[in-house]
Structure 1
Amino acid sequence: MKPVHVILAGGLSSRFGEPKAFALWKNKPLYQWCKQALGGEALILSRPELTGRFKASGETAVLEDAEPFKGKGPLAGIYTAMSCEEGDIYTVLACDTPLIRKETVAALKQLIGTGADAVVPVAGGRAQPLAAVYHKRVKQTIYEQLCRDQLKISDFLSQICVEYVEAGEIGAKKDEFTNVNKKSDLERIEPFRFE
């Protein structure tokens, strides 16, 4: 199965106060930690005002949401990736999850072969759909939901066959799925980096 790696970096970062993707943690922008976990190759889904900044950082695979779904959140980003890059499975990471490890990504990708439409980890009792793997067959479901302007990922997940897996079952630590939403979160995750 051909994998495609996707980093979602099109959010407004309103609680953070500036684009989170470029915030430095341990001398590296947050999105680059995600790119590292994905093996160094990734499509970056951005918004128009950030595209140039990504390209100036040396990124060549930068996309903006497909029309008519611009600004419609993570589902629009996933749909755009599926529309622009041919693949069988799409590993999706939000740009603000710098603790995720390559081993965790690899374990999630292995599980998608079981016939599920998606493999979504559960950490600390919460599903993590923005650190998950999706099969290409969900593209039409995403499209139909976007056309109805239903943007909640939970609504999407309720329509497909999802294998939820506890973080510990794949050797992941629950802290790997921590999102950086505020600048103070950078200090909170300082003790962590699971190499």
Structure 2
Amino acid sequence: MSESIPTYPQLAALVLAGGQSSRMGEDKAQILWKGKPLLQRVCEVACHCAPHVYYITPWPDRYESMLSPEQISGRTVQALAETEHQRGPLGAVWEGLSQIEAEWVLLLACDLPLLDPAIVQQWADQLPHLPLESLALVPQQGTLWHPMCGFYRRSALEPLRQFLEEGGRSFQRWLPQIGTTPLEVGPAEFRMLRNFNTPGDLHTSSPE
């Protein structure tokens, strides 16, 4: 992966590494893909797209060695502690947004090894042009959102808090409520957004 410099200083990246990995049978973040743990690979892409990169997890010490500056092209990836694990990914997003000062946060799941930094950067280039009332920029196919590779404005924090307090847990229900701007998903984007949930997924998507 060639070196690049993130071009939008008001963007930070947040990688989720708090899933139970129940269908995979082992911690997805640590599974090797092309010789690198999935979490490390996703963080490398994040470093190409944002000047500040964080990962949030209930187990910050578990991943420290794989995310040292020596492992991530000299970049620092900062751990954030996820303290309310029972609230799922949306709860982790709320905790992350609460601790990150950037105007926009690029949210990435740790199980997206096919991420293309060029596509993600093209999406990020749209952020300065979005209206203030749009609190998220997220890929959408039909009525289905792909929230684990999307951009969230920090001002989404309060509506997210209210949604969680009302018992909400679904991105699919929350995103239409906050003026989300959809990103078009073509064949290249569809391939990039594929996540790995089971051992079978690993075998059917062998490294190129």
Structure 2 length normalisation: TM-score? 0.81
Matched, 1:91 2:99: no
Deviation at 1:181, TM superposition (A): 0.1
Residue by residue, what CA displacement relative to the aligned partner does 1:36-75 show, whole Å, maximum 9, x if unpaired? 221265211112xx32111233456112224xx3331111
> What is the aligned counterpart of 1:44 among 46, 49, 55?
55
Deviation at 1:149, TM superposition (A): 2.2
In the other structure, the counterpart of 2:152 is 134
In the other structure, the counterpart of 1:80 is 95
Distance in structure 2 (CA, Å) of the matches to 1:191 and 1:57:
20
Structure 1 gaps of 5+ residues are none
Structure 2 gaps of 5+ residues are 1-8, 69-76
In the other structure, the counterpart of 2:185 is 167
In the other structure, the counterpart of 2:205 is 189
Q: 1:183 to 1:125 in 2, by over 3 A?
A: farther
Distance in structure 1 (CA, Å) of the matches to 2:203 and 2:53:
27
Q: Amino acid of the residue matched to residue 79 of structure 2?
A: V
Deviation at 1:174, TM superposition (A): 1.3
Q: 1:129 to 1:42 in 2, by over 3 A?
A: same
In the other structure, the counterpart of 1:16 is 24
How many correspondences in the alignment? 186
CA contact (8 A) 1:36 1:102 kept: no
Distance in structure 2 (CA, Å) of the matches to 1:85 and 1:125:
29
Runs of 4+ in 1 over 6 A off after TM superposition: none
Q: CA RMSD in A?
A: 2.0
Structure 1 length normalisation: TM-score? 0.86
CA contact (8 A) 2:138 2:146 kept: yes
> What is the aligned counterpart of 1:107 among 114, 119, 122?
122
Matched, 1:148 2:143: no
Q: Amino acid of the residue matched to residue 53 of structure 2?
A: A
> What is the aligned counterpart of 2:86 among 71, 74, 98?
71
